[in-house]
Amino acid sequence: MNYRHSFHAGNSADVVKHSLLIALVQALQLKESALSLIDTHAGCGLYDLDGEEAGRTGEAAQGVLRAFADPNPLLNDYRAAVQAVNAAAEPHLYPGSPRFLAQLLRAQDLLILNEKHPEDVRALRSVMRGTTAAVHERDAYEFWLAMLPPRTPRGVVVVDPPYEQTDERARITATLAAAHRKWSHGVTVIWYPLKDRATHWRWKEQLRKLGIPKLLCVEHWLYDSDQPGIYNGAGLFIVNPPYAFTQALRPLLDALRAALAPEGHKGEMTADWLND
């Protein structure tokens, strides 16, 4: 499944991913010790919702624009982070994960970004100019392992590939296993699109066999049944989520589902431990 970020910027998957990423980092920052925020597939960093690629799909109308129209205060932090890169009240630019993470940095924290695509990394360097972010241009999976353990006492690795390669899930599984051996207490966030339940169930079984004890699976299935040929939602695997995050997760997921549910579909938003 090809999921280039520029075509899907600001869609429902982005709203869920970035809302949860904000909440996760904020929960970790309840402790004063420094964090390394590491993004293995950073993308361009900023996306034009009125541009050709995002305009071709128009998915922001069912994502960020619906989040902005919803009054639930649990979405305030997400809306504020998007608003920070926009001059007008309605968003025309959408920040990628690097820009969300940059807004969350404290003086003691580090932001380390990686993007292999030559055009995207040039755009990323331009977008991140003026921040303290370090930008690499390396193979994402080599970079992931090379950054572990981080230089700070704690950290978060964000893995957000476009799923262009047929072996993407296999590479994630193998690298996660190696990463967990190097850094068993670290927090890792793996984003994925949902196409059909059968394919996803097989991948979850492979991840379950890794035996990682604290692996949370958060999924947003948009529709009541699989819709053939389209993306049916998205999810996050989160290794070692902090307690403060998991305790506050259910109300946030309910708020997101209420804001994003497609007309005529109940769908579901779930959060389950993979190795219960």
Q: What is d(CA 102, CA 112) in angstroms, rounded to the nearest whole number?
A: 10
In degrees to the nearest 10, what's the CA dihedral of 27, 33, 38, 43? 60
Handedness of CA 232, 237, 238, 244 (dihedral sign): positive
Residues with catalytic annotation? 160
**Amino acid at position 146, single letter:** A
DSSP state of 130: T
Residue from 121, 107, 180 nearest 148 by CA: 180
**What is the DSSP track for 221-273?**
E-SSS--TTS--EEEEEEES--HHHHHHHHHHHHHHHHHHPPTT---EEEEEE
Beta strands in 25-179 (DSSP E): 35-39, 46-48, 93-95, 110-114, 134-136, 154-159
Q: What is d(CA 148, CA 184) in angstroms, rounded to the nearest whole number?
A: 10
Residue 84 corresponds to which tokens in the numbers above? 């920070």
Q: What is d(CA 266, CA 107) in angstroms, rounded to the nearest whole number?
A: 43
